[in-house]
Amino acid sequence: MPIAVFEGRVKGRSTITATLLNAVAATGNGEWINLQGFNPATCHAILTGTATVELDGSCEPTQPADATHGFSLNTLTATGAIVVNVPVRWLKARVTAYTSGTVTVHLMGSEDD
């Protein structure tokens, strides 16, 4: 399970927040989070050096192994945001290339309308 997953309600809608990667300083896989029903979602990636972070999705009925990549939703090489506006059951962030600095990825999603 990703670091620090919180579910709550804001203005009558269910929300989810999570830290998918926390100050990662190497290549590697993140952990899958169940995002089913939370659409849209925003991932805020903070890169303090030179690295590439990829956001992967999966619609498998059960949680994939962390080493399984599913399909790529987007890639960032600098601090920025990725909006996930396609329904996916599972979501993870992973560092695919690393030279320096750290990578942190935060997630915020709300339930479907």
- Distance, CA of 68 to CA of 66 (rounded, Å): 5
Burial class (CB in 10 A: 0-12, 13-18, 19+), 108: middle
Look at residues 103, 93, 110, 76 and name the one whose alpha carbon lies nearest to residue 7.
110
Query: Is pLDDT of 93 > 70?
Result: yes
- Give the global pTM: 0.90
Q: What's the sign of the alpha-carbon dihedral 54, 60, 61, 63?
A: negative
- Residues 6 or more apart whose CB falls under 8 angstroms from that of 107 comprise 2, 16, 17, 18, 19, 20, 33, 41, 42, 43, 44, 91
pLDDT digits (tens, 9 = 90+) for 8-43: 777 777 888 999 999 999 999 999 999 988 888 999
Give me the mean pLDDT over the 86-113 stretch.
Answer: 92
Percent of the chain at pLDDT exceeding 70: 95
**Domains of the chain, first to last:** 3-111 (2.60.120.380)
Identify the pLDDT of residue 2: 61
Q: Average per-residue pLDDT in the chain?
A: 91
